[in-house]
Structure 1
Amino acid sequence: MKTPKILLAGLAFFLVPTTADVEAEERAACAYDRNAILQLDPNMFDQDDKAGWRELANRDGCQAAAADAIALYIESHRETLVRQWQLPSFKWHEAQLRAMAGQVSQATRLMRQSIKPEKGPEGFEGWTDYALPWNQYVLATIAFLEGDMDALKEARDRLANSPMPPGFDTLDRSQVSVPPSWPLNLDVVDGLIACIGQPYQEAYGSAHCRDVGKQEARRKH
């Protein structure tokens, strides 16, 4: 005996996941222990790949949740982060994650908050030497997200012309797999130029974008 078509249609209806079902699955996939994450010290929360926001961000589709975790950590540890001059970098990482999640307006707002003052804490040698190039990197990224190629290229040129800080070429590079070159993040910016108009996650993380950007920079400069 054949099953009536109306019954089959009804079964199909009940088998189709609803928006609420999908959202519940996404929340479950991006769940984390808030109390445990807030007890981490700032360096572990920010830098450890197996703890803090990075472990969360490495899960598929969890960039927005990782950004929310950083915002929560900032709210709970603001005084410490301000005292240790770490707040701009935390804002930056939250901004990057929001850009990757497609939250562009929130991302650019946070990126502007990650711009560093020219004068750093007393006794912090070389702050200005690194802060000014960093700010050009931030401005270049904002220009990319806003689709402003002229501003992006201008920030790129200012970054490229940043003088190398004293002692940079003699820094201990034994603990890193890829030794840094000066100016820092110039390869990233060249990749943003090459792939402007593409999603930030692609333009930022793609080796292809950086290779094309590097080749274009060599040809033009």
Structure 2
Amino acid sequence: MINKINKLWLFVMSRFVQFLLVSVMLVPIGAKAAQATCIEDKAALLELDFMSFDQDFEGGWRAVADTPGCKPEAVKLIEAYQQQRTDLSDGMKHTLRLHQAQLHAELGHNEAAIALFRQSYKPDEQDRSGWNPYMDATIAFIKKDKPKLVDAIARLKAVPRPEGFDPRDAEGNPIEVPWPPNLTIVESYLRCFDMNYVEVNVEGQCPRPKNDETAD
């Protein structure tokens, strides 16, 4: 009787061990399959022209980034695009680095984001729209450095409107364009200082001031 029980026990245990082995083997396969769904044809994406790769809001790297769990693959894709393409202007490279930085910030990779944001500064003589104060404010918000954020906002507000600035639509009609650019977002950094980059920039959780008044 005891031998029969022992044999039965050994049989049950052997089946259990087999089940565990199969489960362990399947986990990496499933993970790889999930990762593969992020990018179906990487070569085709890398062959896209800049506008299709970067400015198509339903294609290029954005389609990858918008797939749940695929933002890290989108970051790598932008990096691969920059490395492979030899026809990118400095302006195109600047834009791609900025978008990489934003993705890193959304992922909480703060050091990587800050390093790339710093690479996007313009020479002072070329910065007529307050881009550098905007970058300063973004970095200060990520680092949770309120004095530097307040200082960056003040410098951005002080950027003068260019002489002859007269924005118009495609039909030549005057349009109202807030000046300076990006002031609304940097003021939201101060207004919602305790939130993170995703909550303010992606999820829109930072409420606007009443009557659209700007924050002090």
TM-score interval, normalised by the smaller of the two chains: 0.7 to 0.9
Shift of the alpha carbon at 1:179? 6.2
Q: Which whole-Å CA distance do the structure 2 matches of 1:137 and 1:54 have between them? A: 23
1:46-85 alignment runs, 5 A limit:
46-77=54-85, 80-82=88-90, 85=91
Q: 1:152-177, CA deviations, whole angstroms, 9 ceiling, x for partnerless residues?
A: 111111112211123434332779xx
Alpha-carbon distance between aligned partners in 2 of 1:174 and 1:25, rounded to the nearest angstrom: 49
Displacement of 1:22 in angstroms is 6.3
Q: 2:75, 2:210 → 1: CA distance? A: 28
The structure-2 alpha-carbon separation of the partners of 1:195 and 1:12, relative to structure 1 and needing over 3 Å to count, comes to farther
Aligned to 1:138: 135
SS of 2:128 mapped into structure 1? helix
Shift of 1:20: 3.6
Write the distance in 2 (CA, Å) between the matches of 1:214 and 1:88.
Answer: 35
Aligned length: 203
Q: 2: CA distance between counterparts of 1:59 and 1:135? A: 31
TM-score, normalised via structure 1 length: 0.75
- Structure-to-structure mapping, 1:204-219, within 5 angstroms: 204-212=201-209, 217-218=214-215
Q: Larger Rg: 1 or 2?
A: 2
1:108-154 Cα distance to aligned partner (Å, 9 max, x none): 101101112234xxxxxxx5323xx1111111111111111111111
8 Å contact kept, 2:64–2:73: yes
Q: Structure 1: where are the runs of 5+ without partners?
A: 120-126
User: Would the alpha carbon gap of residues 166 and 109 (structure 1) be closer, same or farther in structure 2, given more than 3 Å must change?
Assistant: same
Q: What do the CA deviations read for 1:19-77 (whole angstroms, capped 9, x no partner)?
A: 74664254123124221112111122111112211111121222221111111111122
Q: CA RMSD in A?
A: 3.3
Equivalent residue, structure 2, for 1:153 = 150
